[in-house]
Amino acid sequence: MDKDDAILSDELNHASIIDGCRLSKAKVIAYKHSDIADLRAKAILAKESGLYKKIMVITDGVFSMDGDIAKLPEIVEVAEELDLITYVDDAHGSGVLGAGVGTVKHFGLSDKIDFQMGTLSKALGVIGGYVAGKKDLIDWLKVRSRPFLFSTASTPGDVAACITAIDILSNSTELQKRLWENGNYLKEGLKALGFDIGASQTPITPCIIGEEKQTQEFSRKLYENGVYAKAIIFPTVRKGMGRVRNMPTAAHTREMLDKALVIYKKVGLEMKIL
Ligand SMILES: *Cc1c(COP(=O)(O)O)cnc(C)c1O
């Protein structure tokens, strides 16, 4: 995308998407979070203005602060109707959804999304990232993507670790199963205690506290009692929507999660959040 183009971007997209859009010099048009009617209206306006050569829609696959999943089937429908390029940043979907392949696969849309990008640093546990798309697009990126061209390649050790992680992911769904079980267990437990866990559909489990200072204090008290879950506050999320973000993993045991829930209850009562 360049200065003659437009990018429709979900208002809750990750900071790296926002920065990437800015670097492209394209006109960035934000649409309301997962609001397909707003996306369609803005796409029609952009198209009918005749101002742009190409128009792209870009979204997180799984939104990093809330854990909800992008409405990819509807986004693809709008994209087909209005001839938009589609780009999914699947940093939080890779290894988690679609038998590990990600959000696009989860919805069976592998041949409908132009670009899928993901990281190897989250569920895969190493470092690096990937872009998947049609061969022409990938060839073009290899000669035009400045961050790719002008930075050092991954080390052999990191590459070996990535290959092994992908092998593990491809050969068994056991870790994913455990991840989802742990995520669901933690969510049910927090909900039962009376916490607000927002709109999460994935193991990312926000615990929404609200006011910024109180959120930070809550996170600090959790840590003092043995739970590490970071506070996320304005400007990363909206004012008054501060939350402690929990990242349950396949490595957590039931005992650890039970202990965490006891601590959540204790701190929640102490701070009169519950
Ligand atoms: C974490 C994240 C990234 C960055 O991934 P790195 O591997 O840390 O560079 C990009 N996009 C989204 C949506 C993320 O959550």
Annotated catalytic residue 122: yes
**At 154, phi and psi to the nearest 5?**
-60, 155
What is the number of the ligand 1 atom nearest to the C-alpha of 17?
Answer: 11
Return the closest-CA partner of residue 27 out of 58, 63, 72.
Answer: 58
Q: How far is CA 248 from CA 19, 62, 186, 252, 271, in A?
A: 28, 15, 8, 7, 23
Mutate to test the pocket of ligand 1, among 14, 119, 202 (most ligand atoms within 8 A of CB): 119
Contact by Cβ (8 Å): 61, 93: yes
The Å distance, Cα 117 to ligand 1 centre, comes to 9
Annotated catalytic residue: which of 106, 122, 187, 252? 122
Per-residue CA distances from 164 to 96, 161, 175 (Å): 17, 5, 14
Q: Among 121, 148, 204, which is best to mutate for testing ligand 1, by the most ligand atoms less than 8 A from CB?
A: 121
Confidence of residue 58 (pLDDT cuts 50, 70, 90): very high
List, for residues 197-227, the tens digit of each pLDDT value: 999 999 999 999 999 999 999 999 999 999 9
Q: 213 catalytic, yes or no?
A: no
Percent of the chain with pLDDT strictly greater than 90: 97
pTM over 0.75: yes
Question: Could you read off the pLDDT of 214-265 as tens digits, one per residue?
Answer: 999 999 999 999 999 999 999 999 999 999 999 999 999 999 999 999 999 9
Residue of the CA atom closest to atom 5 of ligand 1:
119
90: Cβ below 6 Å to ligand 1? no
Q: What distance in Å separates the CA atoms of residue 252 and residue 249, rounded to the nearest whole number? A: 6
Is residue 242 within 8 Å of residue 193, measured between CB atoms? Answer: no
9 is catalytic: no
